[in-house]
Amino acid sequence: MRTTIFSTPILTPFLRTISIVILKILGWQTRGGELPHQKFVLIGAPHTSNWDFPLMLMVVLKLRLRVFWMGKHTLFPFPFAGFMKWLGGIPINRSASHNVVRETVRQFKENKDLVVLVPPEGTRSKVARWKTGFYHIANMAEVPILMGYVNAEKKEAGFADFFYPSGDVEGDLEKIREFYHPIKGLIADNS
């Protein structure tokens, strides 16, 4: 896997320290701890604001995860594409079928450790229905889903617990959404 903000020698520990200080100054608490085995799909919800991104970076740095995240391809314009990829980004063109699920499953099979962060809403706006790509990736790769969250009401962010897909997409999604139901994002109306 390529070097990212989460795995750059010397710079990553420095950025981790800065992240811890900034989170403390802002009054944000993190939940979760360092995970020895890092092979799972991480979902982050609710995704309601552009500020979710820097907050997510700081939380992930503090919790020592090595994450790759999926984002729409328009977030990777020239000349910033290299920088966005160094931040862990994987550009996804949602206007065309590129077998993203199949390719991500292949990456899980070929790598000992891999964490892919997917915002299940697919947008910062309020949605009635989540996208299911994250679920299909986890189910087909036979890896768990780690439920990450941003709870602006409590100024708390991190991850809760692992969810193991059963193959019952609708039933499992209902259980996952049940966990997120009381959580309010940075823009509560979009939660």
The pLDDT of residue 92 is: 86
The pLDDT of residue 119 is: 83
Q: Is residue 47 part of a domain?
A: yes
Q: How many Cα atoms are found within 13 Å in the side-chain-facing hemisphere of 96? A: 4
Tell me the one-letter amino acid at 73.
H
Whole-number Å distance between alpha carbons of 2 and 8: 10
Q: Is residue 142 part of a domain?
A: yes
Q: For 7-38, how does the pLDDT look when each residue is reduced to its tens digit (9 = 90+)?
A: 999 999 999 999 999 999 999 999 998 898 89
The pLDDT of residue 47 is: 83
The pLDDT of residue 61 is: 97
Q: For 37, phi and psi rounded to 5 degrees?
A: -105, 115
Whole-number Å distance between alpha carbons of 135 and 124: 19
The pLDDT of residue 23 is: 98
Read off the tokens for 177: 């959404």
Is it the case that residue 177 has pLDDT exceeding 60? yes
Read off the tokens for 28: 């944000």
Q: Is residue 1 part of a domain?
A: no
**What mean pLDDT do residues 87-92 have?**
92
**What mean pLDDT do residues 58-83 have?**
94
**What mean pLDDT do residues 108-136 have?**
84
Is it the case that residue 96 has pLDDT exceeding 70? no
Global pTM reads: 0.90
Q: Is residue 33 part of a domain?
A: yes
Q: Is residue 3 part of a domain?
A: no
Structural domain harbouring 63: 11-190
**What mean pLDDT do residues 148-166 have?**
95
Q: Is residue 5 part of a domain?
A: no
Domains held by the chain: number: 1
3-state secondary structure 92-120: ECCCCCCCHHHHHHHHHHHCCCEEEEECC
Read off the tokens for 143: 């890896």
Q: Is residue 153 part of a domain?
A: yes
Query: In whole numbers, what is the pLDDT of the chain averaged over residues?
Result: 91
Band of residue 125 on the pLDDT scale cut at 50, 70, 90: low
Q: Is residue 27 part of a domain?
A: yes
